[in-house]
C-alpha cells in the first residue's frame, strides 16, 4: 500500500545521474507500525503451515527468480552500479539460497535421545519466534535479503523487510517474486525509509528477531536498541580482510585473486580484500604485476560488456573514498596507481573512482585499519608467515582472510591461527557458498551466522519435550 506520508524519493543510476530509475515511497514510522501489525496477524496462521508446505512456496519463488534473472540483474546494475556479470551472480545467489532453504522444509531435524528414566520419551524440535525485522544494505540487494528472509520463512516466522534506500527496485523485485509464488498476505512486508523506521523495527515489542547487515557503527545502535527487550539480535557488519602471499605462491594466481578481491563490486563488499601482505622475497614482483593490472582495469557503466569495474554507489561514498586516498598520502604510503575521481568521457555523469593501490603501507596506518568500502587496496611487506598472520589479526574486524602458498603446512597453520569467520586457501577473500555458514568475528559480527543450516538457529528456538508414559511421578536426577 502507499506510504501514509505520501513522501517519495528518487532512485537514480550511480553510473549516469541523468538516468532516473523511478520514484519509490518513503515509508514512515506509521507505515512500519502497520507492517509489524500485519506480520503479527499473519504469523498466527503461517506458523501452523507445515514446514514442507512453506518450502513449496520457496521452491516456486526460486523458479520464478530463475525465469526473471536477466531482468533482475539489469535492474540491479542500473540502481547500484556493479557490472552485469556480478549482478547476475547476486541474483544467482538468491536463487541458490532459496532452493537451499526450501530443502530445509523437510530437514529441520531435532534430536531423539534415550531418557535416563524408564517409560519416558525425550526429543527436541525447532519452533519459530514470530515477527522478524530484516535491515539490509545496497551492495548485495537480492543475495543478502535471501540469506535472511528465506530461513526465517521456512522456520515459520513472518518478516518486515527494510532494504537500503539506494536499492529499492531490487527489493521490490524480490518481494514480488514471493507474492507471485503464493506467499500469503502479510507474511513478508516491505517498508522503506530512514533511521526512524529502523529504530522502530529494532525496538517494537512485537519484533522477536532483528537481523542487520551494514556498518559496525549502525550495527552497534541496532544492538543497543534490541538489548533492553532481550530480542534475538543478529549482526553482520564491517570487514578489513587480508590476502597473505607467501614466497612460494603462484604470483599469477595471486594477482588475479587480489584484483577480484580488491576491485570486485568496486571494493564495496564486506569481504573485499582491501589489505595484502606480501613476503619480502616476492614483494617487488607482485607489486609490479598487481599495480599494472589494476591500472588497466576498464572502469565504466556496468551495463557495458567491456566494463570490469563500475561506479561507487553514491556521491557520499565517493567522497569517503577520496578522503581515505588523501589520508593514505598524508600517512606516508606510496600511491602506486589510481587515486583520482574519473570525470571524463563515459564516466562524466557518475560516481567513478580509479582502482587505487598503495604500497609501502604500515599495518598501523588508517588505510590499513579502517574499512573504506571502495576501490582502495593497501599492500604491506612481511618477512614470515607468522608476521603475515599477526598483520591479518591486527585489525578490529574478523570476517574473511586468504593465503596463497604451495606449502600445505603454511596453509593449515594459517587456517588455524587467523581469527576470522571465513578463510580461503589459494583463492581471494570473496566467493562464499550458500551451504556453509557466513559471518565473522570481533567487530564484524556478534556470533550468529547466515547461510547453511546455521541460519536456522537465528530464526528458530529449540524446545525440549519429555513424554512420561510410566503412569507415576518420576523425578529426573533424583529417581534412579
Active-site residue set: 236, 270
Distance from the first to the final alpha carbon of the chain: 62
Say if residues 34 and 160 touch (Cβ distance below 8 Å): no
The three three-digit cell numbers of residue 353, written as one number: 573512482
CA distance 69 to 73: 6
The three three-digit cell numbers of residue 16, written as one number: 549516469
What DSSP string runs through 212-237?
A: EES-HHHHHHHHHHHGGGT-EEEEE-
CA distance 427 to 415: 13
Q: Which of 54, 55, 40, 37 is nearest to 1 (CA)?
A: 37
Say if residues 415 and 425 touch (Cβ distance below 8 Å): yes
Q: Which residue has the cell 556478534?
A: 446
| CA distances for 27 relative to 9, 41, 172, 321, angstroms | 10, 20, 14, 30
Q: Which of 217, 223, 242 is nearest to 447 (CA)?
A: 223
| CA distances for 226 relative to 47, 61, 260, 396, angstroms | 23, 31, 36, 23
What DSSP string runs through 270-325?
A: TT---EEEEETTTHHHHHHHHHHHHHT--BS-TTSTT-SB---SSHHHHHHHHHHH
DSSP 163: -
Tell me which H or E stretch contains 267. none
Cβ-proximal residues to 34 (8 Å cutoff; 6+ apart), any chain: 4
Cβ-proximal residues to 460 (8 Å cutoff; 6+ apart), any chain: 108, 126, 127, 128, 129, 155, 156
Phi-psi region of 473 (alpha: psi -120 to 50; beta: other; left: phi over 0): beta
Task: Supply angle C-alpha 214, 219, 223, rounded to 5.
Answer: 150
Amino acid at each position: 500500500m502507499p506510504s501514509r506520508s505520501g513522501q517519495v524519493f528518487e532512485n537514480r543510476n550511480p553510473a549516469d545521474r541523468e538516468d532516473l530509475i523511478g520514484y519509490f515511497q518513503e515509508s514512515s514510522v506509521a507505515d512500519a507500525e502497520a507492517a509489524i501489525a500485519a506480520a503479527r496477524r499473519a504469523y498466527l496462521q503461517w506458523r501452523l503451515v507445515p514446514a514442507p508446505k512453506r518450502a513449496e512456496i520457496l521452491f516456486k519463488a526460486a523458479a520464478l527468480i530463475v525465469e526473471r534473472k536477466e531482468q533482475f540483474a539489469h535492474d540491479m546494475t542500473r540502481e547500484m552500479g556493479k557490472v552485469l556479470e556480478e549482478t547476475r551472480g547476486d541474483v544467482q545467489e538468491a536463487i541458490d539460497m532459496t532452493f537451499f532453504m526450501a530443502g530445509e522444509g523437510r530437514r529441520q531435524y531435532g534430536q531423539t535421545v534415550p531418557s535416563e528414566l524408564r517409560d519416558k520419551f525425550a526429543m527436541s524440535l525447532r519452533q519459530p519466534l514470530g515477527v522478524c525485522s530484516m535491515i539490509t544494505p545496497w551492495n548485495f540487494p537480492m543475495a543478502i535479503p535471501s540469506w535472511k528472509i528465506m530461513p526465517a520463512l521456512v522456520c515459520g516466522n513472518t518478516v518486515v523487510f527494510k532494504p537500503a534506500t539506494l536499492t529499492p527496485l531490487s527489493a521490490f523485485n524480490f518481494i514480488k517474486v514471493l507474492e507471485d509464488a503464493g506467499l500469503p498476505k502479510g507474511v513478508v512486508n516491505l517498508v522503506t525509509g530512514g533511521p526512524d523506521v529502523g529504530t522502530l523495527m529494532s525496538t517494537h515489542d512485537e519484533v522477536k528477531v532483528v537481523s542487520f547487515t551494514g556498518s559496525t557503527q549502525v550495527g552497534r545502535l541496532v544492538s543497543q536498541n534490541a538489548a533492553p527487550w532481550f530480542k534475538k539480535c543478529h549482526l553482520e557488519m564491517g570487514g578489513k580482510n587480508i590476502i597473505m602471499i607467501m614466497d612460494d605462491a603462484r604470483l599469477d594466481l595471486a594477482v588475479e585473486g587480489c584484483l577480484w578481491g580488491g576491485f570486485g563490486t568496486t571494493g564495496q563488499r564486506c569481504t573485499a580484500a582491501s589489505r595484502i601482505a606480501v613476503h619480502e622475497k616476492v614483494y617487488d614482483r607482485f607489486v609490479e604485476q598487481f599495480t599494472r593490472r589494476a591500472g588497466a582495469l576498464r572502469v565504466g557503466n556496468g551495463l557495458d560488456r567491456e566494463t570490469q569495474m563500475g561506479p561507487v554507489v553514491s556521491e557520499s561514498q565517493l567522497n569517503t573514498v577520496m578522503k581515505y586516498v588523501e589520508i593514505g598520502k598524508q600517512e606516508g604510503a606510496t600511491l602506486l596507481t589510481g587515486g583520482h575521481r574519473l570525470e571524463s568521457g563515459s564516466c562524466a555523469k557518475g560516481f567513478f573512482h580509479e582502482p587505487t593501490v598503495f604500497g609501502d603501507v604500515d599495518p598501523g596506518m588508517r588505510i590499513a585499519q579502517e574499512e573504506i568500502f571502495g576501490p582502495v587496496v593497501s599492500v604491506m611487506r612481511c618477512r614470515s608467515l607468522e608476521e603475515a598472520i599477526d598483520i591479518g589479526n591486527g585489525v578490529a574486524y574478523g570476517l574473511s582472510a586468504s593465503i596463497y602458498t604451495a606449502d600445505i603446512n603454511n596453509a593449515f597453520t594459517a587456517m588455524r591461527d587467523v581469527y576470522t569467520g571465513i578463510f580461503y586457501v589459494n583463492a581471494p577473500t570473496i566467493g562464499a557458498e550458500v551451504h556453509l555458514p557466513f559471518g565473522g568475528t570481533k567487530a564484524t559480527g556478534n556470533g550468529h551466522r547466515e547461510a547453511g543450516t546455521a541460519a536456522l538457529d537465528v530464526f528458530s528456538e529449540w524446545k525440549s519435550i519429555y513424554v512420561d508414559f510410566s503412569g507415576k511421578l518420576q523425578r529426573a536426577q533424583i529417581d534412579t
